[in-house]
Structure 1
Amino acid sequence: MKLSALWQDMRMLGNLFLVRTTSDPEKKTARLYEMYPPDRLVVEDTHYYNLGYWKPGCTTLDEAAETLADVVADTAEFKPDDTVLDVGFGYGDQDFHWIDRYGPEKIIGINITKIHIRVAQERARKLGLLDRVDFREGSATAIPLPDNSVDKVVALESAFHFDTRADFFAEAFRVLKPGGVLVTADIIPMAGGKAKADIRSHAIKWIRIMIDDSNWYPRDRYGDLLASAGFDTVEVRSIRDNVYEQWRQYHVRRVQDPSFQRRSSTLFYKMVAVAHRDQDTLTEELKSLDYVVASARKPAL
């Protein structure tokens, strides 16, 4: 093993220990994602880190992840004169895609994971997009922007980490201009599903560790909290049928793909393979999870 890969593996194990021993929600989340630099991802050609929206015929997580980004943008109705706030932007893939496909005037990204900020800023510099995208450190529950300053707020598979999601809703409402729109793509439980504490599958046990009970509620409660924050035109729709099973099947294929094993460090490959070893348990427990795209509008003046 190359020394650089060995060093990354050691860092991964160190961060795993810190994740399990850290109580502060933001520090815990940042340390989780510090475990996965760009060469420690299951995607093939991108740096996306979401479960994806799997249209018929889709075969790669890269494609599914970008399609999920499109679902968020289309739901928010991105327009060329928009200023968009992306909360929890990962490595910035969706933002570069949105600039290219939808052409918003400006995207501001906030994140608490330093490697995400550093890599995304460097990618923006190389692409000559520093005038269009602004990646910075910031908390979802203390957004470093003035009132009524953005047209759209989006959180692509990140809001379940926020401390709390309801506090994020309030902050999103504050920074949105009147008539502005909030859209999230989010993991929540099915009503009456298996308790979070009872999740046993290695592939999704991070939910038990990383999502606080305060953020673990089904679709109807999600909509109620958006309305309580002041939003109207609230919609919380499930897209789970285009997410979980296809995501599961992709990982089965990926673990069996020799090219994935060759490009992965020994530790990272083993972690992914072990996580997806018990497919029966995973298949059963995924039935308890919902995946929603929520949209809500700040009333116009």
Structure 2
Amino acid sequence: MTEFHDLAELALNRDNQSWGNLGYWKSATEYSDACRALALLLGEQAGLDSQSEVFDAGFGCGDQLLLWLTDFRVAEVRGVNLSRSQTAFARTKLAAAGFKAAAIVQGDINNSETWHVALGGNRPSHVLALDCAYHFPSRQAFIAQAHRQLAPAGRIALTDFMLSDRHRSGSFTHRLLVWMLKRSHIAETNIVHRARYLDQLRTAGFEEVRITDISQHVMPGFASFVRTSPASAKADWPARLKHAVTGRFLQWAYRRSVLRYFVISATRSGR
């Protein structure tokens, strides 16, 4: 069966790189560099260090797992990813680099049993979701599950889409957005205004919430790259179409102030 989340982004990367996010294009000009920059930004906002025990919700092909381990030198990495092909790729990548991949599992992030299998009874200090939470069946359920599983004073950190404050539901633009979300395997309920997103975090029990708009360094950069880079031409036709449509959609959503892209972090309250 064909997976929506597959290995299509491999064609955009340099050799031996397998990133799969939208990238942070503030100074980067190549896809692999931009993707790495977005991961670094997330790790910095999460406050990762050598004491961190990381649970990565949606780790793609494994490049970010290696970054947590090598650049931030975290104590442990565990994670769940929906894609079978990506999970197999990540396992091979980690093993080749000399890291244990047993705690990297395939499954649905909204299934509590999947968390149990990956965590093995441990409580991580950090839950990360790099450019993937909007694809979860329910981001709100994910946030609640993260709060239950995190250690006391643990932190959640994500990069994610929200509706622009200027965007209004019921308009033609909104109906077009809903149509695009459905075809992008994104639940409409995951795309909310900033105030609603903040409420979801606080309702789940998070505090010290920090939300930073990085849209200008993400959305137009990815759109420009897939439109002009020869790298995108290396992909097969379905992948090229997927990248082109994504790029055009992001350019439209940015220019029309429909969506904005943020890096978010928060601290678990309570015991």
TM-score (norm 2): 0.85
The equivalent position to 1:265 in structure 2, one of 236, 243, 250, is: 236
AA matched with 2:58: G
1:140 aligns with 2:109: yes
Partners of 1:81 and 1:166 lie apart in 2 by 28
User: In the superposition, relative to structure 1, how do residues 108 and 216 fare at CA in structure 2: closer, same or farther (>3 Å)?
Assistant: same
Q: Deviation digits for residues 160-191 of structure 1, max 9, x if unmatched? A: 12221111111100111111000010122212
Partners of 2:219 and 2:239 lie apart in 1 by 22
Tell me how far 1:147 sits from its aligned partner.
Answer: 7.0
1:160 aligns with 2:138: no
Q: Given that residues 196 and 207 in structure 1 are in contact (C-alpha distance below 8 angstroms), is that contact kept between their aligned partners in structure 2?
A: no
Partners of 1:273 and 1:33 lie apart in 2 by 12
1:124 aligns with 2:98: no
1:91 aligns with 2:61: yes
1:50 aligns with 2:25: no
Larger Rg computed on CA atoms: 1
1:111 maps to which residue? 81
Partners of 1:224 and 1:80 lie apart in 2 by 31
The equivalent position to 1:215 in structure 2, one of 155, 174, 190, is: 190
Q: Given that residues 231 and 297 in structure 1 are in contact (C-alpha distance below 8 angstroms), is that contact kept between their aligned partners in structure 2?
A: yes
Q: Secondary structure at the match of 1:150?
A: coil
Tell me how far 1:72 sits from its aligned partner.
Answer: 0.7
User: In the superposition, relative to structure 1, how do residues 146 and 127 fare at CA in structure 2: closer, same or farther (>3 Å)?
Assistant: closer
AA matched with 2:167: G
Q: Given that residues 19 and 35 in structure 2 are in contact (C-alpha distance below 8 angstroms), is that contact kept between their aligned partners in structure 1?
A: yes
Q: Given that residues 76 and 183 in structure 1 are in contact (C-alpha distance below 8 angstroms), is that contact kept between their aligned partners in structure 2?
A: yes
User: In the superposition, relative to structure 1, how do residues 105 and 162 fare at CA in structure 2: closer, same or farther (>3 Å)?
Assistant: same
Tell me how far 1:95 sits from its aligned partner.
Answer: 0.9
The equivalent position to 2:151 in structure 1, one of 177, 199, 219, is: 177
Identity %: 24
Q: Given that residues 13 and 32 in structure 2 are in contact (C-alpha distance below 8 angstroms), is that contact kept between their aligned partners in structure 1?
A: yes
Q: Deviation digits for residues 165-218 of structure 1, max 9, x if unmatched? A: 111111100111111000010122212327443149xxx935654111211201
Structure 2 residues without counterparts, runs of 5 or longer: none
1:11 maps to which residue? none
Partners of 2:212 and 2:77 lie apart in 1 by 25
Q: Secondary structure at the match of 1:179?
A: coil
User: In the superposition, relative to structure 1, how do residues 108 and 218 fare at CA in structure 2: closer, same or farther (>3 Å)?
Assistant: same
Q: Given that residues 219 and 254 in structure 2 are in contact (C-alpha distance below 8 angstroms), is that contact kept between their aligned partners in structure 1?
A: yes
Q: Given that residues 197 and 208 in structure 1 are in contact (C-alpha distance below 8 angstroms), is that contact kept between their aligned partners in structure 2?
A: no
Task: State the 4+ residue runs in structure 1 displaced beyond 6 angstroms.
Answer: none
1:283 aligns with 2:260: no
Partners of 1:156 and 1:273 lie apart in 2 by 18
Over aligned residues, Cα RMSD in angstroms?
Answer: 2.6
Tell me how far 1:300 sits from its aligned partner.
Answer: 5.6
User: In the superposition, relative to structure 1, how do residues 265 and 140 fare at CA in structure 2: closer, same or farther (>3 Å)?
Assistant: closer
2:227 maps to which residue? 252
Tell me how far 1:264 sits from its aligned partner.
Answer: 3.0
1:58-77 superposed matches below 5 A: 58-77=28-47
TM-score (norm 1): 0.77
1:8 maps to which residue? none
1:191 maps to which residue? 165
